[in-house]
Homo-oligomer: A and B are copies of this chain.
Amino acid sequence: MFSLDSLRTEIETELQRLDYNRSPQTLYEPIDYSLSLGGKRIRPIMCLASCELFTDEYQKAMPAALALEMFHNFTLLHDDVMDKAELRRNKPTVCAQWNNNVAILSGDAMLIEAYKLLSQVDSPAFSLILNTFNQTAIEVCEGQQYDMDFEKTLSVSVDEYMEMIRLKTAVLLAASIKIGALIGGATDSEIQSLYRFGTEIGLSFQLQDDVLDTYGDEATFGKAIGGDIMDNKKTFLLVAALDKASSAQRQELVDWINAENPDRTKKINAVKKIYDKIGVRRDAEERINELSASALEILRSMEISAEGKRFLTDFATSLIKRTR
């Protein structure tokens, strides 16, 4: 069938069926809240669609799809505590709406709930699925730690940055696809191809996120542009700029990074001007294009249904070409 609308509806229905109207409320309410904030449901969609490539009974992957969405939301709760973030999807974060302790403990509960959901998967490949989930989960933590480590240094190479976003973002997307395929009964070689596809789409997705935060359209992006620049966040743009800058440009960047209470518009415009001179937006877009072309080529060369190929191609393209 491969219908994005119906996959999304099924996922939302199942998420709502998870009943967190339990005691203690302080533990479970934030789980409901977090899941009800919406989001693109990219990971569960990928998991179900990937399963559907190999079997019509793609609902078999639903517990895993929900586990992946739950895990993703767990990371958001804890990341928001660590980043002191107050808004997420235009709503107060759990740490802002309640407090840090609630976000820590409800996050822990969500990680455990993710395992509970995953444990409902009925598949001869269960042990492989569990190992994939474990390995991915720990890699996501590694990625988040590298991201935090990078905040404290100016010497991050582009390769190190790419490895960080592979861990922090791409592996979970790749694992979603792999786990769906495992449940669907794919062969080892199909699983390897799909994992690579997912990784490359995940990398492109994150690079696109970096570009949008600086060059997106405020109205369609849905949040203020330039947040990463104001926070001195080590995005691809900043890392590549610091790497390729002349010594004068580098000094200018460092001055803006160290500026105390700089004027927002001035700082954003000045840094963007340096980015433009160095050409890092083009660098990012080249990488996005290369990675997504490679990902789509992997898909093209696979012997799977034309309908499935088209669905994954369209969905992946929509993620990368998105404007918000």
Contacts and interface: CB of A to CB of B under 8 A. Distances in A.
Interface of A: 23-24, 26-27, 78, 81-82, 100-101, 104-105, 107-109, 111-113, 115-116, 119, 127, 130-131, 134-135, 137-138, 141-142, 144-146, 148-149
Given A24-B142, A27-B142, 20 more contacts: A24-B149, A26-B145, A26-B148, A27-B145, A81-B101, A82-B104, A100-B100, A101-B148, A105-B145, A107-B108, A108-B141, A109-B141, A109-B142, A112-B138, A112-B141, A115-B115, A115-B130, A119-B127, A119-B130, A130-B130
A293 to B, nearest CB: 31
Contacts of A148: 26, 101, 105
A285 to B, nearest CB: 29
* Copies of this chain, count: 2
Q: Kindly name the residue among A130, A145, A146 whose own CB sees the greatest number of chain B CB atoms within 10 A.
A: A145
Given A24-B146, A27-B145, A113-B138, A105 B131 contact: no
B119 A138 contact: no
22 contacts: A24-B145, A26-B149, A27-B142, A78-B105, A81-B104, A100-B100, A104-B104, A105-B145, A105-B148, A108-B108, A108-B111, A109-B138, A111-B111, A111-B112, A112-B138, A115-B134, A115-B137, A116-B135, A119-B127, A119-B130, A119-B131, A130-B130
Which 3 residue pairs are nearest across A and B when measured between Cβ atoms? Answer: A27-B145, A24-B145, A82-B101
A105 B82 CA distance: 9
Given A138-B113, A146-B24, A104 B78 contact: yes
Contacts of A119: 127, 130-131, 134
Nearest to A84: B101
A23 B149 CA distance: 11
Contacts of A137: 112, 115
A276 to B, nearest CB: 33
Nearest to A141: B109
Q: Kindly name the residue among A82, A100, A104 whose own CB sees the greatest number of chain B CB atoms within 10 A.
A: A104
A188 B137 CA distance: 33
